[in-house]
Chain A
C-alpha cells in the first residue's frame, strides 16, 4: 500500500460516492484522475486488500432478528474436522478458531442468522449433532443491541505495514 492507496481507503471509508462516476468523484478529492483510481481499486482487489465494493444491510431491518455467535469448546485434534462440517452448513456465515482463556473455554466460533427463534434453535441443534463427542461445551450468544456498526475507519495518522 502506498500513500495514494491509503488515502483512497480513508476517503472512501464513509462510502462510495452516489454519483454517476463515483471514481471520478474520488479522484477529484485526491487530486488525480479517474483512470488512476479505477486502476488502483482493481489492483487492490487483485491483491485481496479490497474484498469488494458492496452493500452492508442492517440484518435486523431485513427480519433477521436472531443473530447468534455460536461458540464451541472442541477437542484440539478434531477442530479442523468440526470446522469443515460447520462450513458445509449454508446458514453459517463466519467460522473462526480463536484462543481459549481460563474463564473462556471456547475455541471455535460460528455465526448464524435466523428470522425466528425456532429456526435458530434448529441450526444450533444441527451443529451440535455435527460436533457431537468432539464438543465438551457450547453456548450461543445472541446479539441484543447494535451499539456501533460503522465499518472500518483508519485514522489519518496511521499507516499500514505493507
Chain B
C-alpha cells in the first residue's frame, strides 16, 4: 500500500510540508536549497500529485482569522447506507474532507464556511438530505496543530 519513493521524491515530500517561500520563483528557490533543478522540482511535484502521494499542493488557509468557521461533524450511518450518505456529504463544496472511522459514529467530516450561519446551514442541509442527526463538534480550544509525515 505504501509507495516507494525515489530520493528526490522523498526529499521533496519532506521539505514541501514545511512550506514554500513566497517569492517570484519559489520552485527555483527550493531547487537551489536542495541541490536540484527547478524542472526537477516542478516535474516531481506533478508526479507526486498524479500518483496520489500528495493529495494537494497549494495554499493552506486558516479561515478563522478571516471570520470563517471550521467544524468537525459526525454521522452514525447504517452500513448499507454509506454510499448514499457519502454521496450527499461529499457533494457539499464546504466539506473539506470526510473519513470513515471504526465507531458507531462512523462518518467524520470537516465543514469549512465563511460564517457561523453558513456552517449551521450546511449541517442542516446534510441532516435534511440524509435524514440523520449530525453530531456537531466545533473546536472550543486548540492546543496544537502540527501535522508532518516523514516520508
Does A94 contact B42, Cβ atoms closer than 8 Å? Answer: no
Given contacts A57-B151, A69-B101, A154-B68, 13 further A-B contacts (CB under 8 A): A1-B67, A38-B23, A64-B149, A69-B108, A94-B147, A96-B140, A104-B135, A145-B99, A149-B97, A151-B58, A153-B93, A154-B112, A160-B68
Which residues of A lie under 8 Å from residue B97 when comparing CB positions?
Answer: 146, 148-151
- Judged by a CB distance under 8 angstroms, whether A41 is at the interface is yes
Does A93 contact B96, Cβ atoms closer than 8 Å? Answer: no
Which residues of B lie under 8 Å from residue A42 when comparing CB positions?
Answer: 22
Cβ distance B5 to chain A, nearest Cβ, rounded Å = 8
Q: Which of B108, B146, B149 contacts A141 (CB 8 A)?
A: B108
Does A152 contact B1, Cβ atoms closer than 8 Å? Answer: no
Which residues of A lie under 8 Å from residue B62 when comparing CB positions?
Answer: 48-51
Does B1 contact A15, Cβ atoms closer than 8 Å? Answer: no
- Judged by a CB distance under 8 angstroms, whether B148 is at the interface is yes
A52-71 CB contacts (< 8 Å) to partner B: 52-65, 69
Does B20 contact A52, Cβ atoms closer than 8 Å? Answer: yes
Q: Give chain A's interface residues, CB within 8 Å of chain B.
A: 1, 9, 12-16, 18-24, 34, 38, 41-42, 45, 47-65, 69, 83-84, 86-87, 92-99, 101, 104, 109, 111, 113, 139, 141-155, 158-162
Q: Which 7 A-B pairs have the closest CB atoms?
A: A161-B67, A52-B19, A63-B2, A55-B16, A162-B67, A15-B58, A95-B143
Cβ distance B130 to chain A, nearest Cβ, rounded Å = 13
Does A93 contact B145, Cβ atoms closer than 8 Å? Answer: yes
Q: Give chain B's interface residues, CB within 8 Å of chain A.
A: 1-3, 12-13, 16-20, 22-28, 38, 42, 45-46, 48-49, 52-63, 65-68, 72, 86, 89-90, 93-103, 105, 107-109, 112-115, 118, 135, 137-151
Q: Which of A9, A93, A153 contacts B146 (CB 8 A)?
A: A93
Does A45 contact B22, Cβ atoms closer than 8 Å? Answer: yes
Does B45 contact A55, Cβ atoms closer than 8 Å? Answer: yes
Which residues of B lie under 8 Å from residue A104 when comparing CB positions?
Answer: 105, 135, 137
Which residues of B lie under 8 Å from residue A96 when comparing CB positions?
Answer: 139-143
Which residues of A lie under 8 Å from residue B100 when comparing CB positions?
Answer: 143-145, 147
Roughly how many angstroms separate A149 CA and B109 CA in the complex, as a whole number?
A: 10
Does A55 contact B57, Cβ atoms closer than 8 Å? Answer: yes
Q: Which of A34, A113, A158 contacts B113 (CB 8 A)?
A: A158
26 intermolecular pairs with C-beta atoms under 8 Å apart: A18-B27, A18-B45, A20-B25, A38-B22, A38-B24, A48-B65, A50-B61, A52-B20, A53-B22, A55-B45, A57-B53, A61-B1, A62-B53, A69-B101, A83-B141, A86-B144, A87-B144, A96-B141, A97-B140, A99-B138, A109-B137, A111-B147, A141-B105, A149-B98, A152-B61, A154-B114
Does B58 contact A53, Cβ atoms closer than 8 Å? Answer: yes
Instruction: Take A42-B22, A50-B59 as given contacts and tell me if A62 and B52 are in contact as well, using a CB distance cutoff of 8 Å.
Output: no
